Structure 1
Amino acid sequence: MLHLLTSAQIREADAYTIGHEPISSLDLMERAAAAFVKVFTDRYPDKAKNIAVYCGTGNNGGDGLAIARMLCKLNYKNTLVKIARYSDKPTNDFIENLKRLKSAEVEFEEIRTGDKLPVEKADIIIDALLGSGLNKPLKGDYEKLVKYLNGLNRTIVSVDVPTGFFCEGEISNDAVAIKSKLSITFQQPKINFLVPESAPYIEEFSVVDIGLSNGFIASLNSPYQLIAEQDIRSILKPRKTFTHKGTYGQALIIAGQPETMGAALLCSSACAHAGAGLTTACIPKSGLTALNTSMPEVMAIVRAGVKEMDIEWDKFSTIAIGPGLGKKRDTLALLKEVLQKFDKPVVVDADALNLLAANPELLKQIPKGSIITPHMKEFDRLFGANTSWWGRLETIRQKAKEHQINIVLKNQYTITGTPDGKLYFNQTGNPAMASGGMGDVLTGVITALLAQKYTPEQACILGTYLHGKSGDDLALPNKKVVVLAGEVAKHIPVVMAKFRA
């Protein structure tokens, strides 16, 4: 896992690297600038473009000065530096980089408090005004300058973070920050890059390694983790010879109504394709034909009234309940029956979550280690309205600990909160997957992994990653705008095979 750090922890990592590599802060800045330039020149190879590099007088501005110098050396001749002299306390590394800029005869001009903002003719603006240490909203000259640059409707590339953007903490709806086309960020994504409130300010980000000490970063106490491909390879188990369907568990999917059988079919299909040894769907009688036609591999229990059902609860490794289930009285009775009769971890999704929200006392009855998979509105119905995604992150940690459950909050970067207070961000998946049934498929995948004796935490980490990777494989190579949930479910075994190889 990649430990995601707060701004203060990133500064600690900088200081540790400087002291223990050892390397001077100026040389570390040079290394960061070179890494930025590599990505920038790959993305924008036209050296005839007019480029304006806006620099503050702190270390982010020092990065900008070094970047401008390197671009000019690479024959980006139409590069002009504009220094915002809104502070009379420049950092030492900024001062040294300004000397180097002058020695390289790179053109620059200065903007001071009260000056009229310059006419900007640049095709590309590099934003190196303020860096990751900002902890209060922009005001005065910086606010005015940022609003001006945003209003130009030019391509803006930010150095590390867009000016005015908070790396962690609450982002207000009216925050003033640079709206970047691309943010080239140092060492790792910033935590707030991974929440929806970043969308107006960061269309895309690219991470560049600047050589900070990975050992020190790993030693820092961070609850925020980014799931990486190597984590999936280390967790995913091989299928060994002489194993059989009993080895891989039996999953029960309680889902569907006559008018919402699609959810039950998708969830059951995903569970079977993700490797559960046996998958049984508990569905209404009217859904039998659809199930037998589409998924003959899945067994069925016909669902009538709760009293009429005779389920051998103990034979199942795990249970998923909720997709397409509805919120009628009999489904509430069914949910209560599951929570009373089954003491192993369960997966709760969709309508079952809404039943929990309406009957909060049932949350206390969920078996320890269980997994709930809400989207944002379901999450807020369960745990109370939040005014920000940072608030949701804090709520996930609190509620996962309180109820000793795993919370999978579905999002572009789906977040798993665990009972030990960790938050795992998943980085697979894409907008082509924004179509009906994707959540049902994710529930099926996680359920299959639980059935195969992965820990609940592993099932969440693997399930979110494999689900998103399946969608990436289907969408990205062919530039598909839409990927259907059923396609994702059927592609899961291919993705698992690649990782096992």
Structure 2
Amino acid sequence: MKIFSKEQIYEGDKLTAEKQSITSTELMERAAIQIFNWMHIRMQGAQVPIHVFCGIGNNGGDGLVLARHLITHGYNVNTYVINYSDTRSKDFLINYDRIKNVSKKWPLLMTDAEALPVIHQDDIIVDAVFGIGLNRPVVDWVKNLFTHFRASKAFTLSIDIPSGLFPDQVPANENDVVWANYTLSFQTPKLLFFLPETAKYTVQWEVLDIGIDPEYLYTTATAYELIGKHEMLPVYKPREKFSNKGQFGHCLIIGGSYGKIGAVTLASRAALSSGAGLVTTFIPKCGYNAIQSSFPEAMVITDVNEDCITHIKYDIEPSVIALGVGMGTATKTITAFETFLKTNKTPLVIDADGINMLAQKKALLKLLPQQTILTPHPKELERLIGTWKDDFDKLKKVKALSKKYDLIVVIKGANTITVFQDKGYVNTTGNPGLATAGTGDVLTGIITGLIAQGYAPIAATLFGIYLHGKSADIAIEDLGYQSLIASHVIEALGEAYIDLFKQPEQPQVEEEPEDSKE
């Protein structure tokens, strides 16, 4: 699913109105009816007080249309117009007149927050104050109103985005924004739903189809895309009956140091479990017995050194190399890493201490093969690109790094975002159970295993992240968040693959008993 920018959304609205020969007012009506239908299905006429707060732009116009339909269907509605400016949009004015024709109780015009409306905890707030077009700081009395919403603890439903949020920057103060329980987004999710500093302003979100021109949606390139099962199923490479292990590549996992052989073990197990034909580990001597006994499917090459890697030499021809997990940053290890990069031409996946070594000697970035994949956690990313002002600035800096060195960079998080050149891909699988030691090593192994099987680097990265998160989603059904460990993610990989082909379960309809039928 594409994530459209503010400018693209406006262009899509305009083009849709032109191609479908409708006015912007009619498109607004269509959109607001979708919100009404969403509420009506869930409320079924319940007489809970509904407070609809409308701005004076198009988002407020949506709110007025919604309030009108709620009123005509017999709901208990209080409508407010937040009069924060002298400027009104055309569609707001049209719908302001329309709502006055269906109710004797006209919308209350609010010009300050001195007399805040009474809102009880069991009421419902509909936030239609500001939309994606907000381009100025929120005035103080409106901020006070937003604080009043939050203090009431009433269920808050935001239209398109929570009011006070900008589509491309982080608010200066969390009290400047509505904290929504649910946001109904028109046609496309917003990038801010997936960034840590802005996602907190809505607990849940849902996209409503408002009939934007399909050709525009299909042909328009966007800077970000949402990645889920629908996007990953076409990527999957099925196996033929007469396949053999030689067709699925040979992974070399380089890493480990004294006390950190487990990281290499996890990455190697994940690579083989993701479908790689062969896995060889390159480790210091101290890890030989550990890997041979705990993971017999792997082959092992050891460094001449006992405790850490000092000379990377091997006599195999791997399809792909993962490097850095548990590796440490000893001086001799950094030297070995640099020497290796100067001659290596094999595709790379670099994680953990591999990234830390790149951060210490940034000139090494020039030695990386095209489309090398970096999988840093937040602190490793900061060492690599420096500090960032906010999440939007972080994305900007990662894109600059990706373009400069032709890298694929994985920004790990609740919604892991993969950046390649100017494009960002937002993953939809995963859960807080992944916040545990070793899951990053597992991700490195999965991506490496997919590249070995012939997936292109960007496809392997996106598919690997999806499978990694889906495995965790499957595992927590039996284990819960707290008990999930990295090995469980590997064990659930097979179910994650199978899930790609599962159809959504249809709700069961109980038949009416025979004796009640006429």
* TM-score normalised by structure 2 residue count: 0.90
SS at match of 1:52: strand
Deviations 1:39-71 (A, max 9, x none): 345556682322211111211111112222333
User: CA offset at residue 97 of structure 1?
Assistant: 2.2
1:491 alignment counterpart = 492
1:237/1:500 contact within 8 Å kept: no
**Other structure's SS at 2:491 match:** helix
Structure 1 residues 173 and 361: alpha-carbon distance in aligned structure 2, compared to 1, 3 A threshold? farther
Partner of 1:459: 460
- 1:395 matched to 2:394? The reply is no
Q: How does 1:271-420 map to 2 (within 5 A)?
A: 271-305=271-305, 310-312=313-315, 315-419=317-421
Paired with 2:348 and 2:332, the residues of 1 have a C-alpha distance of 19
Distance in 1, matches of 2:221 and 2:474, equals 34
1:498–1:169: structure 2 CA closer, same or farther, 3 Å change rule? same
CA contact (8 A) 2:474 2:495 kept: no
Mean alpha-carbon deviation: is it higher for 273-282 or for 82-91?
82-91
Alignment-derived partner of residue 237 in structure 1: 237
Tell which has more relative contact order, 1 or 2 (C-alpha 8 A, sep 6+): 1
Range moving further from structure 2, 266-275 or 476-485: 476-485
Structure-2 change in CA distance of 1:53 and 1:408 (3 Å): same
Identify the residue that residue 65 of structure 2 maps to in structure 1: 66
Query: What letter is aligned with 1:153?
Result: K
Q: Is the 8 A contact 1:281 1:301 kept in 2?
A: yes
CA 1:67–1:224 in structure 2 vs 1: closer, same or farther (change >3 Å)?
same
Shift of the 107–285 alpha-carbon distance from structure 1 to 2, 3 Å rule, reads farther
The alignment partner of 2:397 has SS state of helix
The Cα offsets for residues 417-462 of structure 1, whole Å up to 9 and x where unpaired, read as 114x211111211223222211111111110111112111111111
* Alignment-mate amino acid for residue 468 of structure 2: H
Q: What SS does the corresponding residue of 1:204 show, helix, strand or coil?
A: strand
Show the counterpart of 1:428.
429
Q: What per-residue deviation string (whole Å, max 9, x for no partner) do you get for residues 124-167 of structure 1?
A: 21100111111232124433322332333332111111111011
2: CA distance, partners of 1:69 / 1:438: 51
Give me the whole-angstrom Cα distance separating, in 2, the residues matched to 1:340 and 1:43: 62
Code of the aligned partner of 1:9? Q
* Number of the residue aligned with 1:200: 200
- Residue in structure 1 matched with residue 508 of structure 2 by the alignment: none
Which deviates further from its counterpart, 291-300 or 265-274? 291-300
Partner residue in 2 for 1:7: 6
Q: What residue ranges of structure 2 are gaps of 5+ in the alignment?
A: 503-518
Residues 219/171 of structure 1: CA separation in 2 closer, same or farther (3 Å cut): farther
Are 1:250 and 1:276, in contact at CA under 8 Å, matched by a contact in 2? yes
Structure 1 distance, partners of 2:192, 2:184, is 15
Q: Structure 2: which amino acid aligns with 1:55? A: C
Structure 2 CA distance, aligned partners of 1:459 and 1:298? 21
1:53–1:68 contact (8 Å) kept in structure 2: yes
Aligned to 1:438: 439
Local SS of the residue matching 1:203: strand
| Matches of 2:482 and 2:17, distance apart in 1 | 45
Query: Offset of 1:241 from its aligned partner?
Result: 2.0
CA shift for structure 1 position 227: 1.8
- The 1:461/1:152 distance shift into structure 2, 3 A limit, reads same
Separation of aligned partners in 1, 2:234 and 2:182: 32
Deviation at 1:237, TM superposition (A): 0.8
Which shows bigger deviation, 44-53 or 476-485?
A: 476-485
2 CA distance for matches of 1:389 and 1:375? 14
Offset of 1:405 from its aligned partner? 1.2
Change beyond 3 A, Cα 1:115–1:299: closer
Which secondary structure state, in structure 1, belongs to the residue aligned with residue 437 of structure 2? coil
CA contact (8 A) 1:83 1:108 kept: no
1:213 shift after superposition: 1.8
Match of 1:56 in 2: 55
Percent identical pairs in the alignment equals 35
- Measured against aligned partners, the alpha-carbon deviations of 1:67-112 in whole angstroms (never above 9, x if no partner) come to 223334444x322111112333332322232333233327444233
1:11–1:476: structure 2 CA closer, same or farther, 3 Å change rule? farther
The 8 Å contact of residues 170 and 198 in structure 2, kept in 1 or not, is answered as no
Check conservation: 1:170, 1:391, Cα contact below 8 A: no
Deviation at 1:174, TM superposition (A): 5.3
| Secondary structure in 1 matching 2:492 | helix
169-178 vs 52-61, which moves further: 169-178
CA contact (8 A) 1:57 1:83 kept: yes
The aligned counterpart of 1:270 is 270
Using the size of structure 1 for normalisation, the TM-score is 0.93
Which 10-residue stretch deviates more, 14-23 or 280-289?
A: 280-289
2-side partners of 1:463 and 1:214: how far apart? Answer: 30
Are the counterparts in 1 of residues 164 and 171 from structure 2 also a CA contact under 8 Å? no
The whole-number CA distance in structure 2 between the counterparts of 1:257 and 1:307 is 10
RMSD after superposition: 2.3
* Structure 2 CA distance for aligned equivalents of residues 41 and 286 of structure 1: 65
Kept in 1: contact 2:146–2:175 (CA 8 A): no
